[in-house]
Structure 1
């Protein structure tokens, strides 16, 4: 049951990213791509601040982690800027399938080599087939 709930949450998050792209594209066209990106992080930062106040998430342990673990924060704005710029040019569908293709390819490499402290999961024929099907979807939607 936990696996089904987890899958449902992941699917909802994926749908949320498509909605975010659909909102960011027009917003970026109106106010500028960097301003639209900043708005997403400002709203998110405020919501996370409220959550931390009410749920008492400690920040002390965060800053004792190796600095390289914090570099993921650089990727978020880059991702959102790419969404903001590309969505008006190629549409939400193409943007999301392209992003999905990149995510799956990188995820397979991370799993296969056990990068960043993740558990090693060998790439097998099914995973390669899944990536090939996403590449085919990218080609078909283009």
Structure 2
């Protein structure tokens, strides 16, 4: 990887940490208030933070008329994500939940890249991608058998 591009890895590193922490925090809220209540609270606070950032950034809302409907399904998918992760941590633990979630996320992402779904630039799968996915699957199997 080129030196300049390595800096861009900071963002997915932050995202990875945030996903792991969000999973734990959502599970804690669900243990106190219930899973659907946790989903609501997590999204309500997320909405407030996003609105705050939008407002301090002096953004306007003219973008609303220009987006595709499927593009805003991310919020609905967020509900599914919070619900299933909060529930799964109780059943499977944090590491197993995040590990399997990341494996599936990466596999689905590769399918999206390969076919150029949802308007993303095509990035065809190759042998190294298949090997990487198989290694991740092997890691999940090894970890699950060790428990």
TM (norm. structure 1) is 0.92
Gap runs ≥5 in structure 2 = none
Gap runs ≥5 in structure 1 = none
2:82 to 76, 80, 93: 80
Residues 112 and 121 in structure 1, CA contact (< 8 A), matched pair in contact too = yes
Q: Which residue of 2 aligns with 1:39?
A: 41
Q: Which residue of 1 aligns with 2:62?
A: 60
Q: In the TM superposition, what are the counterparts of 1:1-142 in structure 2 within 5 Å?
A: 1-142=3-144
- CA RMSD in angstroms comes to 1.4
Alignment partners' CA distance in 1, 2:138 and 2:31: 30
Residues 97 and 137 in structure 1, CA contact (< 8 A), matched pair in contact too = no
Residues 93 and 141 in structure 1, CA contact (< 8 A), matched pair in contact too = no
Alpha-carbon displacement from aligned partner over 1:13-55 (angstroms, at most 9, x marks no partner) = 1011111111222221121001111111111111111111110
Alpha-carbon displacement from aligned partner over 1:58-95 (angstroms, at most 9, x marks no partner) = 22212332222222221111011111100111111101
- The count of residues paired between Structure 1 and Structure 2 equals 142
TM (norm. structure 2) is 0.89
